[in-house]
Structure 1
């Protein structure tokens, strides 16, 4: 039996394109399930799951959403039903990957469907707005794939067939090749950046692996934080070492490089043991090719590359960040320790380095001491986050947690 792909789209208006996708998948030896998310019209031939099945899964009916006379309300109802139906079908083992086709309306629905499916399920969206700034990072599933539906607004043609056939082959190939996450060892989720700025993972990863744990390090540049939070919410981690929570500041100050409002909350809500620190706490990342906001025009900055520029926070802004971190950690239901290395939070803020700001560092540390919630243990270290003393302190506390049964083997 070949891998089975769930194809989702509005069959009343995109029947030819959706049927073409199915034909390509079948030609390559795959199988197909079809789901219609139309509202007003009907497909030329019956689909495996009709629009009535979809809205029923969302708790309403086609008649009810038509009566609302609002296409936005209608498509949100279809999105809710499609996400619920797809999630249930996947739990039942009915398909191995999903392919959704759409313009802006269909893409809105596709994002909900993909977010409802676990990491490791191939998720492909063929969209006329792929890669558009209309799509907020918070809506993107951790492993979603998007292909631009070039020349595909209305009807089949040679241009759009190139995109559609690639998408069909890609999702089928992914379903055949994917190695779905299988936890054979307890998993530690860690956040960080490249070794030029944060280095603790170099020591911590092999040390934790030697203790029988697996370590996944997430690049905290928006989507990495989204993936980290998603897995934490699903209970994938035995513990987290969230040492680079900089996306919190990005979101606070309006950067597009955001992991969303929920950053630094999922592990706490799930009761996952948390070790947290201040990696790059003082920086705000902005898209390098966008003009900097007026408020940061005269701020010291580090041009990391042509995609990313980091600006330095003022002491008052660092106090705001410290309070926001503490506010988020206050909602934790499991054990939390915050390591405060009072000599700095990344390689660029060491004494003599380009972004050194002793007053700003002191302001952050002072605010963390004042605002730290009662249930959060604050461990101050006379060290820099990249010093060996930091990693040694983390491992010592981790060993204590393992011995006490707080972190399960």
Structure 2
């Protein structure tokens, strides 16, 4: 975590020209509740500073927990690996993964038909790349025939989030 925070600081200070971030395990820790989360701002400094960044999924197959005897009760039946006496790794599962939703009619207010950024070919290329990238990953890609500011879009997302929260409470 310290390394990640330090890299983010160096980017904000414009001391790095580019980032190749191949191990992003802190994202799984943030999502699931591991001990090495870098916080909700992980991966944001480069975008904010306009620094080129390539990100990969190295070590997103695991969540870092403390010593085996400190693993929270809700995780004790999961696939655990004692990395060393201080760190127990827990395998991520499909239920740990975030869904990706695509608003097919526009991804911003000015990207809808008739507006300045409307470009159905560019949107198709983006959506196709996302679909290809997530194909066979187990991550749900949900397509909604609405734009990002449509009431249908908002209600669909809110209902799904409520479902996921309820599922998590039951598990």
Query: In the alignment, which residue of structure 2 is the partner of 1:362?
Result: 137
Runs of 5+ in structure 2 lacking a partner?
101-128, 144-171
Closer, same or farther: CA 341–239 of 1 in aligned 2, 3 Å: farther
1:227 Cα deviation after fit: 1.3
1:282 Cα deviation after fit: 2.1
1:277 Cα deviation after fit: 0.9
Q: What SS does structure 2 have at the residue aligned with 1:304?
A: strand
Query: In the alignment, which residue of structure 1 is the partner of 2:6?
Result: 227
Q: What SS does structure 1 have at the residue aligned with 2:90?
A: strand
1:341 Cα deviation after fit: 9.5
Q: What SS does structure 2 have at the residue aligned with 1:309?
A: strand
Pick the aligned partner of 1:240 from 10, 19, 34: 19
Q: Distance in 2 between matches of 1:259 and 1:303?
A: 21
What is the root-mean-square deviation of aligned Cα atoms in Å? 2.7
1:295 Cα deviation after fit: 2.1
Residue-by-residue CA offset, 1:348-379 (whole Å, 9 max, x unaligned): xxxxxxxxxxxxx7214x54x97xxxxxxxxx
Q: Distance in 2 between matches of 1:224 and 1:303?
A: 22
Q: Distance in 2 between matches of 1:271 and 1:232?
A: 9
1:294 Cα deviation after fit: 2.1
Q: Is 1:309 matched up with 2:88? A: yes
Q: Distance in 2 between matches of 1:317 and 1:258?
A: 15
Closer, same or farther: CA 289–230 of 1 in aligned 2, 3 Å: farther
1:290 Cα deviation after fit: 5.3
Q: Distance in 1 between matches of 2:69 and 2:11?
A: 32
Which one has the largest radius of gyration? 1
- Listed as ranges, the matches of 1:322-361 within 5 Å are 323=100
1:301 Cα deviation after fit: 1.6
Aligned residues: 113
Q: Distance in 1 between matches of 2:50 and 2:2?
A: 23
TM-score by length of 1: 0.25
Q: Distance in 2 between matches of 1:311 and 1:240?
A: 27
Greater relative contact order structure (CA < 8 Å, 6+ sep): 2
Q: What SS does structure 2 have at the residue aligned with 1:263?
A: coil
TM-score by length of 2: 0.57
Q: Is 1:270 matched up with 2:49? A: yes
Counterpart contact for 2:29–2:37, Cα < 8 Å: yes
- Listed as ranges, the matches of 1:10-409 within 5 Å are 222-288=1-67, 291-318=70-97, 320=98, 323=100, 362-364=137-139, 367=141
Q: Distance in 2 between matches of 1:241 and 1:299?
A: 31
1:304 Cα deviation after fit: 1.0
Q: Distance in 1 between matches of 2:13 and 2:51?
A: 10
